[in-house]
Amino acid sequence: MSILSELNRKALLLTLHQDIEDHAQRTAKAALNGRAEGLCYPPNVALRPDEVAALKRLREIPAIQPALEKFIADAAASVIFDLFNYIDGTGDPAISASQWTGVALVDHDPAHDGKEFLHDAFFESYWEWHDAR
């Protein structure tokens, strides 16, 4: 098994920073407009009318959008940082931490296509996590 190449490592890290910024801006803007169309987490997400009204009132506060963007970006970056700690084996997931060995990011090998993708399993696992907590 090969390790993650420097080219892919750099592309992944730099793209994640751009994604955090893009998503924070888009999410803050949507929140201030009381829109939940782009929200995908948790899977049962829906804004109640009182929540929509509260978010729309926030628009009247000067500098609220960049402030929201900073909180959203920090939340996203914190989760990614934790994920990398789990991958690196320098942090243990709270669930099954006693059995955690760490994992490795490696360059994609086309010969191993057809496997289950983590991005699909992530949303599928929500209800299992929800029921277990």
* Spatial distance between the Cα atoms of 5 and 3, rounded to a whole number of angstroms: 6
Displacement of CA 9 from its chain's centroid (Å): 18
Q: Which residue has the tokens 């994609």?
A: 108
**Pick from 17-26, 76-85, 118-127: least confident:** 118-127
C-alpha distances in Å from residue 66, one per residue of 63, 70, 72: 6, 6, 10
Region 94-123: mean pLDDT is 78
> Exposure string (b/e) for 91-104, b if CB count within 10 Å is 16 or more?
beeeeeeeeeeeee
Query: What is the Cα–Cα distance from 83 to 118, expressed in whole angstroms?
Result: 13
* 8-45: pLDDT as tens digits: 999 999 999 999 999 999 999 999 988 877 788 888 77
Helix (H) or strand (E) holding 8: helix 6-32
Average pLDDT, whole number, for the chain? Answer: 88
Q: What percent of the chain has pLDDT over 90?
A: 46
How much of the chain, in percent, has pLDDT values that exceed 70?
Answer: 95
Domain layout of the chain by residue ranges = 6-132
Average pLDDT over residues 64-78: 97
Q: Which two tokens stand for residue 96?
A: 């099954």
Tell whether the torsion through CA atoms of 26, 14, 105 and 102 is positive or negative: negative
- Which DSSP state fits 112? G
For 61-67, what is the mean pLDDT?
96
Report whether pLDDT(1) > 50: no
pLDDT score for 114: 63
What pLDDT is attached to residue 96? 66
